[in-house]
Chains A and B, each alone.
Chain A
Amino acid sequence: MKRFATFWWDFVVGDDWRVAVGIVVAFGLTALLAATSIPAWWVLPLAVAAVLWLSLRRVVRPPDRNEPT
């Protein structure tokens, strides 16, 4: 059962869980804005750019600032 859960976690979430969390938050924000009269189409592209950059930055930070793996 644990291996089954691990497989699905790796399959869907992958190396960086923060990306998945960021996407979920961005979808929530998009849905909230879309329910108002404010245009919401720009939220997801900007969120994707931000989430991707932050995830990449975590990999290329100097070693002393990386979290232990």
Chain B
Amino acid sequence: MGLTRGWRPALVGAGAATVALAAIVAALGPALTVIPIEVLRLVVGALLLVFGLQWLRKAILRASGWRAIRDENAVFARERAEAASAPRVEHAGLDWYAFTISFKGVLLEGLEVAFIVLTFGSTQGSIPLAALGAGAAVVLVVATGLVVREPLSRVPENTLAFAVGVMLTTFGIFWGAEGAGVDWPGGDASLPGVLAFVLLISLGFVTALRRRRLAIA
């Protein structure tokens, strides 16, 4: 948006979304801490599981060649062309198209991150620690971007998506089962076992689907 429609409406939109996001987190964060931990783990586990399986499903299909790997350069070129051709309508002295696209993008992506941070923090009893982890990730990503100075297309996006899908699915299984009344053998020590199981079946599915594709080709 900044490159195609101007930086002012894009930055105002992103800033407004950040403020909205902070307000939502400030309202929901304390509310989560009063929900019984078993109920919270059940709901959070179920949501992490459906999110995680969405990520994992797409990542497995891409890794096995059944769905095309996203071409970030092509996506950037297409979206830039769409943004450049959109009609210019002004509200409050701002290019409304650039403002709303920036606002929605930051708010929606931010909501997903906020959901993960709040739920991980509240189920493990430390929202500040989860927020610290998220902050450290932001610093790390920005620092890596500044040091490496490579285009977005060089980021191994599908590997990242695969890893995120495995992690979300693992925590979803673990907390969801606990919320449903399960006692894991060995307690928290079984978490690496669940992670290994999810990783192995996912890699197995990639191999099986890749073989299937090669057999058809």
Contacts and interface: CB of A to CB of B under 8 A. Distances in A.
Interface size class of B (residues with CB under 8 A): 35 or more
Contacts of B169: 48
Interface residues of A, number: 29
A35 B183 CA distance: 11
Interface in B146-171: 169
A32 B205 CA distance: 29
B201 interface: yes
B61 interface: yes
In this complex, the member of B50, B56, B67 whose beta carbon has the largest number of chain A beta carbons within 10 angstroms is B50
Main secondary structure of the interface of B (DSSP, over half): helix
Contacts of A51: 53
B54 A27 contact: no
Given A14-B54, A44-B173, A56 B184 contact: no
B201 A49 contact: yes
B46 A40 contact: no
A56 B57 contact: yes
B177 A41 contact: yes
A23 B50 contact: yes
Interface of A: 12-16, 19-20, 23-24, 27, 30-31, 34-35, 39-41, 43-45, 48-49, 51-53, 55-56, 59-60
